[in-house]
Structure 1
């Protein structure tokens, strides 16, 4: 990593006279950055001028992002379940890139199964990534941000954290725990200028969503349409806005909460689900 990376503009990013991207000079850490919502968050942050430390268990995925955004993305492998690795990465980042301004916790997994069929291993793995990983990254970042007196932590949770879902008990429970953890953290660090919020997407067109459709799913358009229409048999409402989300829809909400436009917002859980949960 190099200190020159932090403020170097991306060659492909268009500029208009008098325009200054709102996150110019900011350093952001994104977990789960290799694909899906994580990759979209990286793209949205870069567009607004931030330098992004993109992390994932998939080194090739984040290296590709760095190649696509030379001078604005630094790629590093990271297992968020490893607290020592998280601490080591943030220490390295402090030394070579400078102080961290933004954290976007996006890394997550889904192990779908009815509770009576759910294995101990799948339950533990789900909490290790979705809750433990957020704890490790947020704790390490909050310590540093609190010392400086500023910073924003945004965690991608799920609307399943607030509405029961069949076959998703481990995922929903882990995300619910993460939402409350983030609110508690936000309360503790608010007096030190650090904001903590969550974004809770509904069905979003990612690899995780496609996996829910199963190997026998027909074409993507038809599968997405079934999600939009809902399923009475599994007690799922449809999506009132009539479309499944794109990862960019979630990413824009993350960037908003990370930005100064949201400077008076903390402890908030922003649903980005097209109205699917009727905000129950």
Structure 2
């Protein structure tokens, strides 16, 4: 595999599972040293033991990104060892509920992690990047940021917020040589999708075919994405191959929101 990230240090949030884990593996395969951030300490430790067998390629950093002080402490720790070249905002939660059933706590938790956490980490990391005059930020949003979805009002709103936040960061920090882009997945084979739609072939088929009752048009490519599909898109935008791309939203959804 190409070593596009040799001697690069990249921070990935939400790294313990799903798309975040796939991104972590992809970047390590391409030569990066990854600081893997997540609130799930045990899973992070397991991942670290597995990936560091042949030598140190990642460090697990257990942190609740919804807490600003904890984020700043984690970034200080990382920067004391290595300058951060790239950031992937991958942490996120989804509570599939009809609008009338969403609780105040679920709404707050969604925004505390998806939006406030993304802001805290991005703010803390890019302040260091500004001093060095370079850096890359990629935020994993969702095609639901731009397309209304049934039973996902809090999630859709939060992903719309982080997509626009990332573009605004890129607009302001472009003069410092910092690129900021968004990757917007559609239905992807993760635990989050299983919690919302289940893992059965029948339920996947329903996502692929679409559901008029839910105002979903289906997926023209006739398949659910794998986390690795999203990871490859993230890696591209992080790489020097995308060195003149910023403020872009790369939709990776098999054509579901054409």
Question: 1:152-231, aligned counterparts within 5 Å?
Answer: 152-213=136-197, 220-231=200-211
User: Contact 1:152 / 1:258 at 8 angstroms: preserved in 2?
Assistant: yes
Partner of 1:45: 27
Partner of 1:30: 12
Partner of 2:247: 267
Q: Which runs of 5+ in 2 are unaligned?
A: none
Structure 1, residues 44-86: CA drift from partner, whole Å, max 9, x if none? 0001100000111111111122112211011110111011111
User: Contact 1:65 / 1:73 at 8 angstroms: preserved in 2?
Assistant: no
| C-alpha deviation, 1:158, in angstroms | 0.3
Partner of 2:127: 143
Residue from 225, 231, 240 that aligns with 1:251: 231
| C-alpha deviation, 1:223, in angstroms | 1.9
Alpha-carbon separation, structure 1, partners of 2:136 and 2:42: 27
Alpha-carbon separation, structure 1, partners of 2:50 and 2:133: 33
| C-alpha deviation, 1:224, in angstroms | 1.2
Alpha-carbon separation, structure 1, partners of 2:181 and 2:200: 32
Partner of 1:5: none
Q: Which runs of 5+ in 1 are unaligned?
A: 1-14
Residue from 217, 225, 229 that aligns with 1:237: 217
Alpha-carbon separation, structure 2, partners of 1:47 and 1:183: 28
Helix, strand or coil: the match of 1:34?
A: coil
User: Contact 1:86 / 1:137 at 8 angstroms: preserved in 2?
Assistant: yes
Question: 1:113-132, aligned counterparts within 5 Å?
Answer: 113-132=97-116
| C-alpha deviation, 1:222, in angstroms | 2.2
Helix, strand or coil: the match of 1:52?
A: strand
Alpha-carbon separation, structure 1, partners of 2:80 and 2:178: 21
Partner of 1:65: 47
Partner of 1:105: 89
| C-alpha deviation, 1:221, in angstroms | 2.2
Question: Which of 113-122 and 266-275 deviates more?
Answer: 113-122
Bigger Cα Rg: 1
Does structure 1 residue 87 correspond to structure 2 residue 72?
yes
Structure 1, residues 73-109: CA drift from partner, whole Å, max 9, x if none? 111101110111111111111112x100010110000
Helix, strand or coil: the match of 2:171?
A: helix
| C-alpha deviation, 1:220, in angstroms | 2.4
Partner of 1:76: 61
Structure 1's consecutive aligned runs of 4 or more residues displaced over 6 angstroms after TM superposition are: none
- Paired residues, number: 255
